[in-house]
Amino acid sequence: MQAIDLLVRAEFLYPVTEGVPVVPDGEVAIVSNRIVYAGPRKPDGHWHAVRTISGAGRAVLPGFVNAHCHTASIVFRSQTDDHAAKAALFNVAFPMEKDISDAQWQLLGTVGCAEMLRAGITTINDIWYSPESLARTVADCGLRAQIANKVFDVRLEALFRDDYTRHRDVGQARLRHGVEFVERWQGAADGRITTRIGTHAPDTCDAGLWREARAEANRLGVGMHTHAAQSAGEVDYILRTHGCGPMEYLRDNGVLAPDVVLAHLTLATDGDLAAVRETGAAYAHCPTIYPRRGRYPRLEDILSLGIPTGFGTDWMLNDPFEGMRMAIQAMRLRLGDPGAMTCEQALALHTIGAARAIGLGDQIGSLEPGKKADLISVNLDRPHLQPFYGAPQALVFYAKSSDVDTSIIDGQIVLEAGQPTRLDQVRAMANLALHIPAWRTRLSELGSTAVAGPGCPCCG
């Protein structure tokens, strides 16, 4: 009899390990924060577990890894989704985000972390403001996270007017803040928190700031995280200022390397993709944001080039199941090929693929002995999942994030019966609600067309 801390049983176990099929009647054995076994159920009496979680009506899989997100950005939920989304980003979100206090970011990040946990996300790669606020919440609630402070030297809201005036003092202050955050938080919360240098985008930092940021990342031994070839304005600015694509520009400035996570690549040219491939940089693909913006990245080309790729949620819609379905459907629609991406591939891209993209592929992302115990259990006792035959299609095409029942991160149960165990989401949402009237008024003042009811200029 082998003594273990936790035994997680499954009606269907998805190891997401290459060459290992779905295991009916499987189990995962955990000692401390590590997996010691993942496979078919052993005979009764094999394990002596401190705690056993029943597998009846449950699918168990690796926790989802979110390769690019802005957890606290939910203050702008619904504000940039419909018509005039671009104008809303520049006229509403960019001016308003400067006025949100650290305490408010902490509150927004707490609700955002609850959302991530409940969706089965076990690791986030976040770039935003007030990284300390998010880090404190992550430490408390049990998530695993890579966090970066957002660094830029322009006025983001001025880019809409093509105003690229550089504010060196602002860029330096933001980089210093990012560096100090790395020095303070790298490896915190028993190693659950790691850090990156978060240069915002190729056009929002000048070449000198990019090179300084790269040098600091090298000195600190951490990676970088940036948006890349995301907007027409960015691509146009880099082309007319430097005569090349944004990824060629970052390569030529010595920035790109295997420790850089590039979000989006929506407008990447062949030259840009070649630059990414030759430098070994990784790609975070966020399936739910692109159809909303009417343009989808060349995911099939990026995958065929062998660029390390994983899925992320970007902002507002943090539902991995929705993301996997969107990626499959978008690729099939664009290529007119119903076999263009399989459910197995999509599942891998949101787990082991994303883990590799953010440099944690040897630690998380699949269920195998030696890896850290980051796994989730999905409740299959739901009408929309019946009858459940167990193949990846059954999960990827039909499950919802609200079906996630249990989440274990670093060997600790952080979600039970669909509720976070170490985070008071009811209190956090109640505190958040106190700020909504003021945010609503501010959104209206900035000309938001996506506010209804009190505070709305047309509704009174």
Interface with Zn ion by CB under 5 A: which residues?
314
- Residue 75 CB, shortest distance to Zn ion, in Å, is 15
CA distance 382 to 403: 8
Distance of CA 142 to the CA centre of its chain: 16
- Residue 314 CB, shortest distance to Zn ion, in Å, is 5
Backbone angles phi, psi at 202, to 5 degrees: -55, -35
Confirm if 414 and 50 have CB atoms less than 8 A apart: no
Helix axes 168-185, 131-141, angle to 10 degrees: 20
**Maximum Cα interatomic distance, the chain, rounded to a whole number of Å:** 70
- Of the pair 248, 314, the CB lying nearest Zn ion is at 314
- Of the pair 201, 209, the CB lying nearest Zn ion is at 201
CA distance 362 to 393: 26
- CB burial string 81-98: b at 16+ within 10 A, e below: eeeeeeebbbbbbbbbbe
Residue type, 423: L
- Residue 116 CB, shortest distance to Zn ion, in Å, is 15
- Residue 258 CB, shortest distance to Zn ion, in Å, is 21
- Residue 9 CB, shortest distance to Zn ion, in Å, is 37
- Of the pair 71, 406, the CB lying nearest Zn ion is at 71
* Strand segments (E) across 230-325: 260-264, 282-285, 309-311
Helix or strand run (H / E) with residue 425: helix 425-445
- Of the pair 66, 377, the CB lying nearest Zn ion is at 66
Confirm if 18 and 61 have CB atoms less than 8 A apart: no
- Of the pair 60, 127, the CB lying nearest Zn ion is at 127
Confirm if 97 and 72 have CB atoms less than 8 A apart: no
The tokens for 113 are 């972390």
From residue 387, give the alpha-carbon distance in Å to each of 12, 57, 74, 322, 393.
Answer: 13, 11, 35, 20, 12
- Of the pair 61, 69, the CB lying nearest Zn ion is at 69
- Of the pair 128, 388, the CB lying nearest Zn ion is at 128
* Nearest CA-CA partner of 394 in 6, 59, 43: 59
- Residue 94 CB, shortest distance to Zn ion, in Å, is 13
CA distance 153 to 169: 8
- Residue 401 CB, shortest distance to Zn ion, in Å, is 19
- Of the pair 55, 131, the CB lying nearest Zn ion is at 131
Name the closest residue to Zn ion (Cβ): 314
Helices (H), 336-424: 343-349, 352-357, 392-396
- Residue 68 CB, shortest distance to Zn ion, in Å, is 6
- Of the pair 80, 401, the CB lying nearest Zn ion is at 80
- Residue 105 CB, shortest distance to Zn ion, in Å, is 16
- With 0-12 / 13-18 / 19 or more C-beta atoms within 10 angstroms meaning exposed / middle / buried, residue 364 is buried
- Residue 180 CB, shortest distance to Zn ion, in Å, is 23
Helix or strand run (H / E) with residue 429: helix 425-445
- Of the pair 316, 404, the CB lying nearest Zn ion is at 316
CA distance 300 to 279: 19
From residue 254, give the alpha-carbon distance in Å to each of 127, 208, 249, 282, 376.
Answer: 21, 11, 9, 15, 39
- Residue 227 CB, shortest distance to Zn ion, in Å, is 6
- Of the pair 63, 312, the CB lying nearest Zn ion is at 312
